[in-house]
Amino acid sequence: MSTVTATAESAPVRVRPRRRRLGVVGVVGLALLILLVGSAIFAPWIAPYNPEESSGNPFAAPSRLHPLGTNDIGQDILSELIYGTRISLAIGFLAAIVAISIGTLIGTVAGYFGGWVDAVLMRAVDVVLVIPFLPLMILIAAYVGPSFWNIILVIGLLVWARPARVLRSQVLSLKSLDYIDAARALGAPASRILRLHVLPGVLSLSLAQFILAASNAILIEASLSFLGLGDPTAKSWGSILYYAQVRSAFLTGAWLWWVLPPGLLITLAVLGFAFTGFALEEVLNPRLRGMS
């Protein structure tokens, strides 16, 4: 049992279903992702209105003009949600890039060099893994202040530890492979071995970890935004929920069209990423494959 890591929510463990190929789970996940990425890219063509524009009366109920009603300053909620896909996915992807860059670097270096380098780096990973995650997040988010890039940085800086650990063990198993052993014996410089032999073996797994980190990031961003620690001027799904909450949507009937849809979208996006990630991880991680 490896050390268990905390995700944004309290459920601390992700376990992979056992499948050899991408399978149904992976296909469903990919389909969800494609759908969401599609609507993010084509938002201007799909969305009925400019979400920044007050196109109706404030707090209007759904109608033919505004299928999901309007928000507190008369902006079309459906258009907000469609454009929100852009912000939410962007935060997910960018935070995951930060996390995976750090994670890959640290995991690879630790695994490859071993010894005290490994010991020091893994201690750091342990420290990050043990610290209460969400409170730390709230603390830092409150400190750096709410902006699009700060949120990305905060999330990225806190979710790199799990990928680092996974990638390190991958490097360890790669290191014992004959051809890398041979290269080392022949005295090839570490940077060259890392670049030519280790990194390619690690990259595919990084991809799976990247996608899992992205799903985590989306969930975290939503939670931070809801707590009022996100960027309230960026129309992410989380900030749409924030406004729904502060403008009493669940006291009026508005929660049906103002609270439910963004929450479902977050869930779908997280599911899409998670499914794809798990499926990829299994296809790509030889160790997991050996276990089934």
Partner 1 sequence: MVRFLAGKGVQYALVLLFAVTLNFMLPRMMPGSPLVFLAGEDVGFLSEAQRTELLRSLGLDQPLWRQYVQYLGNLATGNLGYSFQKGRPISEIIVERLPWTLLLVGLALLAATLIGVVWGTLVAWRRGSAFDLGSLGISMFFESTPSFWLGMIFIAVFAARLRWFPIFGAQTPGVSLAGWAMVANTAWHLALPLATLTLITIPGNFLIMRYSMLTVLGEQYIATAKAKGLAERTVIYRHAMRNALLPMATVVMLNLGFIASGATVIETVFSYPGVGRLLYEAVLNRDYPVIQATFFILTVSVIAANVLADLLYPLIDPRVRHAR
Partner 2 sequence: MRTVAILAMILIAVLATIPAAGLAQTGAVRIAIRRDEGSLNPYTYQSGYPGWNIMTLVYDPLFYPDANNEPIPWLVRDVKVSTDGRTWTLTLHPNVRWHDGRPLTSEDVKFTFEYVQKVTHSRWTPTTRNLDGIEAPNPQTVVFRLKAPDAGFRLRTLADVPILPKHIWESVTTVAAARAFNNTVGSGPFRVEEVRAGQFYRLSAYPQYFAGPVKVRELVLPIVRDATVSFTAVQAGEVDLSERPLNPELVAQFERQPGIKVVRGPGFASTLLQFNLEHPLLRDLRLRRAIANAVNTNLMVKLLTLGYAVVGSPGYIHPASPFYASGLKFEASKAKAVAILNEAGYRDRNNDGVRETPEGTPLRFTLLAQAENPLRIRGAELVRTWLKDIGIAIDVRVADDASVIDLVWPDFDVCKGRRFDLSMFGWSAPVMTRPTALVDLFHSSCQIGTINIGGYKNAQIDRLGEQLVVTVDSNRQKQIAAQMQKIVAEDLPVHVLYYQDVIMAYRAAAHDKWVFQKGQGVLTKLSFVDPPKR
Chain positions contacting partner 2, by CB under 8 A: 52-54, 58-59, 72-74, 142, 145-147, 228-229, 231-233, 242-243, 245-248, 250-252
Closest CA to 169 of 217, 137, 209: 209
Which residue's CB is nearer to partner 1, number 19 or number 184?
19
Which residue's CB is nearer to partner 2, number 113 or number 255?
255
- Out of partner 1, partner 2, none, what residue 72 binds, judged by CB under 5 to 8 A for its kind, is partner 2
Residues near partner 1 (CB under 8 A) are 1, 4, 6, 9-18, 123, 126-127, 130-136, 138-140, 142-143, 145, 215, 219, 222-223, 226-227, 238, 241, 245, 250-251, 255, 259-260, 262-263, 266-268, 270-271, 274-275, 291
Which residue's CB is nearer to partner 2, number 16 or number 247?
247
Q: How far is the CB of 151 from partner 2 (least distance, A)?
A: 12
- Out of partner 1, partner 2, none, what residue 195 binds, judged by CB under 5 to 8 A for its kind, is none
- Out of partner 2, partner 1, none, what residue 117 binds, judged by CB under 5 to 8 A for its kind, is none
User: CA 84, CA 75: separation in Å to the nearest integer?
Assistant: 13
User: CA 116, CA 145: separation in Å to the nearest integer?
Assistant: 36
Beta bridge partners of 135: none
Which residue's CB is nearer to partner 2, number 7 or number 70?
70
- Asked if 179 and 123 touch (Cβ cutoff 8 Å), the reply is no
Q: How far is the CB of 45 from partner 1 (least distance, A)?
A: 28
- Out of partner 2, partner 1, none, what residue 6 binds, judged by CB under 5 to 8 A for its kind, is partner 1
- Out of partner 1, partner 2, none, what residue 243 binds, judged by CB under 5 to 8 A for its kind, is partner 2
Which residue's CB is nearer to partner 2, number 53 or number 126?
53
Q: How far is the CB of 94 from partner 2 (least distance, A)?
A: 19
Straight-line distance from the first to the last Cα atom of the chain, in angstroms, rounded to the nearest whole number: 16
- Out of partner 2, partner 1, none, what residue 163 binds, judged by CB under 5 to 8 A for its kind, is none
Which residue's CB is nearer to partner 2, number 37 or number 73?
73
Q: How far is the CB of 82 from partner 1 (least distance, A)?
A: 19
